[in-house]
Structure 1
Amino acid sequence: GFFPNPSIPYGIMQNEGGPCGVLAAVQGFILRFLIHEEVSKSFDEALARTLASICWQAAQQSDEKHAYVCLPPAGAGLTNGASSSSMENFRLFTFSDFDALLHFVESKLQVYQVPKGIGVILLVVSAVLSRGGVAHTRGDMDLQDTSLIVEHGYCAQELVNLLMVGMATSNVFDGVQVLSDVAGGSKDEATMKGIPYRGEIGFLTYYEHFDYFTVGAHLKDPRNPVWVICSESHYSVLFAKSREVPKEREFDLFYYDELAKQEEEIRLTITTDAGVPKVSKGDMAPPLEDTIRTKWPGASINWNGSDRIL
């Protein structure tokens, strides 16, 4: 479920490994509404608006433009055991108006907030249905037999993208890329789908440090200075408290890891023109630092007394 960290007023908590991609995306939107757009005055208000907005933006990418909210059967418990019920017994609610959707989610918020509950499952199912169902969600993917949940219960990139931008695309570059086998003389082409528009929140990945991925401007320069961070198999969040992506020579970013049970904020001071060289794969630099440098190359990172996370 999506329940708050008692020590960090904007933070959600993660009990165990697995759903960090979902939680990090939700955390990013909570920060958007609570700190940047200031349309929410409390954690609960921001969470409700986040859940509604994730479903609504997925619906806007569908043909019918209807958002769906999936809830457990009436009278069912709110713990993980409820998810074992047949999905045929779950209740489905349809919305064509965002305010009505938001009001409904606010009235049912406790369903999503049970610590060992099914809030994560309900959000994922609601997002898939809002996107237009399983067929449309698979149609976003490069390989349509891709699962949204991969080994060890981790989130696939397709699921993280669905929550961040409303489409379950397989890549994080901008737009669509068409690959052809010119050198081999084949006329076969492969279409690879990325991020269709500038995100409300962004994304940075440690894998770009090794040139495995390229994150496009739609996610690297989002509308709000909040980034979901992918460091190997774990997702967390980096954000600024300013309203826009910082452009100064030196500025502060804040790091939040929902699995780390943080009791204090981690404030990082970024100096963009420090000329720090790219660290090779064998060196022991914190992955977060190398991830930050995929957006601000050569930047130095001061942890301001916090332990450097290796």
Structure 2
Amino acid sequence: MDEELGDQNHHFSEHDLDAITNKISDLGKWREIFSQQGLQFKDTVVKKYPDCRKVEDDSEDGAGTPQSSSIKSHSHFTTFSVPYCVPKAFVVSSNLGSLPITLETAVALRKALFGTAFQVFNYEWKKSHFKFRDPYSDLAYALEAERGGIRSVQMAVQAYILKYLLFTRNSDLESQNIKCLLGVSLKEQENALAAALSDILWTAGEGVKSFVCLVTADCYFAPTIDYKMDSYTERFKGEGSHAVILFLYSLLLSRTLERLYNDMDCTTPHLLQVSLGNFVCTQALINLMLTGRASPNVFNGDQQYDNQGVLLKEPKHGVLARSDVGYLYWNRHELDHENLPQVVSMLKTPKLPIWLCNINDTFSVLFNTNRLLLSDWRMEHLFDLYFYSGQSSQTKTVTLTIDTHSHHWEDGMREKEEDPEKRFPSVEMTIRTKWEGAAIDWNGTVPFF
């Protein structure tokens, strides 16, 4: 390569060299523009992370020729943060020095997610990213949520954003006011997202280390017959930032693949499944985001026996400890409500009053601003819960007043034999899985969801 350049040097005129110099001087201006558009990582916290390099190639089907065979492999101190919104693909320099992805790791990641190295994400997943509503608005704290399985990831991150805004940035306060979420600025949105993602990854890494996957322009391995190339693990070209996929990769590597498979059991061999033509998160992946452990069930501890008392060939893994963020579940489409998955107290009663809600296979969040709500039984007589559905049609936070001492709603239910789900919104039925028999006031909002 150097020889070839030496032969061509005499062809450059002084005018050509001046033009090249001018273009180089313009790089600073474009760097500033990219930074203003959210295309550059901003400095926040420094930790020792081995980065996981991604790969790119030039072909449309992902089976192109590698651009580089150069590999650097070592841990280094890198400044990590996440922009509040990354509307386009972000590619970092390959000169940072980090741990590049290998073919073996790429195959393992694909199998952990899909069960096969030949399955790839669809267009909706590839373009998915994290983006807030307008700053200083009524929903300045809220992420824009997409449909399908992507929403479960975005709303899990949303729950941790609420943890940061309500209970981390002002940790000395026992109780906040909902108004503290209305004045969230652009910079606070950025800090909240960085804190939320870091929190989830650090928990998965058991407080020891975590991985952050970034995209580079370099290719570190060639395609093989055992691995289907795609446009996000090896290359990032076209619309979207692939931020949700990068987050999932970071999550799996932070947990480590060895611990990941120890967490799971025979009931859930991989973390994503196909539903209605899209990929949705299994309970194992949801639990991994909430608790740091990919247990595939919602009962307490490990289950050694089946419902008949027969010893299982392999134990089923459940939830081992309370997490900061909880989980509630309701599905009106399951006709036999007696057989709904019984979410255990460790998930229903988290350390903080924030719940990721799976309501009719659609994810949302419920939260309260008083950290003592779940530690003082007197607080649970009459209190407010705030509801964000993630739907673009929602323009303000819904306030629900919960009265756990009034049971007048049950009187009306007894008068008719019909299913209460037909007369009560699913949100209310979800709340009653935690506070049985509670009366719920929507405070003037027309009930929905």
CA shift in 2, pair 1:128/1:49, >3 Å:
same
- Would you say 1:288 and 2:416 are equivalent positions? no
- Kindly state the Cα deviation for residue 43 of structure 1 after the two structures are TM-superposed: 1.8
**For the residues of structure 2 that align with 1:60 and 1:264, how far apart are their CA atoms?**
36
- Aligned residue for 1:235? 363
> SS of 2:380's equivalent?
coil
Structure 1 unaligned spans of 5+: 77-82, 91-114
Q: What's the counterpart of residue 224 of structure 1?
A: 352
Which of 15, 19, 22 is residue 153 of structure 2 equivalent to? 22
Contact 1:181 1:187 (8 Å CA) reproduced: no
**C-alpha distance in structure 2 between counterparts of 1:251 and 1:58, whole Å:** 32
Q: Which runs of structure 2 are paired with 1:1-310 in the superposition (5 Å)? A: 1-6=129-134, 7=137, 8-39=139-170, 42-60=188-206, 65-74=208-217, 84-85=230-231, 87=233, 116-133=240-257, 135-143=258-266, 144-151=268-275, 152-180=278-306, 188-207=312-331, 210-245=338-373, 247-275=379-407, 276-277=409-410, 280=419, 283-310=422-449
Q: Secondary structure at the match of 1:222?
A: coil
Letter in 2 for 1:9: A
CA–CA separation in structure 2 for the residues paired with 1:223 and 1:288: 22
**Cα separation, partners in 2 of 1:173 and 1:72, compared to 1, 3 Å:** same
Q: Report which stretch shifted further, 201-210 or 153-162.
A: 201-210
Structure 1 pair 118–248 and aligned structure 2 pair: CA distance change class (3 A): same
TM-score, reference length from structure 1: 0.79
Equivalent-residue separation in structure 2 for 1:87 and 1:39 (angstroms): 38
Q: From the superposition, tell whether residues 282 and 86 of structure 1 become closer, same or farther in structure 2 (CA, over 3 Å).
A: closer
Is residue 353–residue 371 contact of structure 2 (8 Å, CA) maintained in 1? yes
Aligned AA (1:54): I
- Where does structure 2 lack aligned partners over 5 or more consecutive residues? 1-128, 172-183, 220-228
Cα separation, 2, equivalents of 1:153 and 1:188: 30
User: Which whole-Å CA distance do the structure 2 matches of 1:136 and 1:210 have between them?
Assistant: 33
Which residue identity is paired with 1:270? Answer: I
Query: Are the counterparts in 2 of residues 207 and 213 from structure 1 also a CA contact under 8 Å?
Result: no
**Which structure would you say has the larger Rg?**
2
TM-score calculated relative to the size of structure 2: 0.56
Q: 2:216 corresponds to which letter in structure 1?
A: P
Alignment check: 8 A CA contact 1:250 1:271 kept = yes
2:124 matched residue in structure 1: none
Residue 180 (structure 1) shift? 4.4
Separation in 2 of the partners of 1:181 and 1:286?
A: 31
Q: 1:105: which partner in 2?
A: none
Write the distance in 1 (CA, Å) between the matches of 2:421 and 2:385: 26
Aligned residue pairs total 274
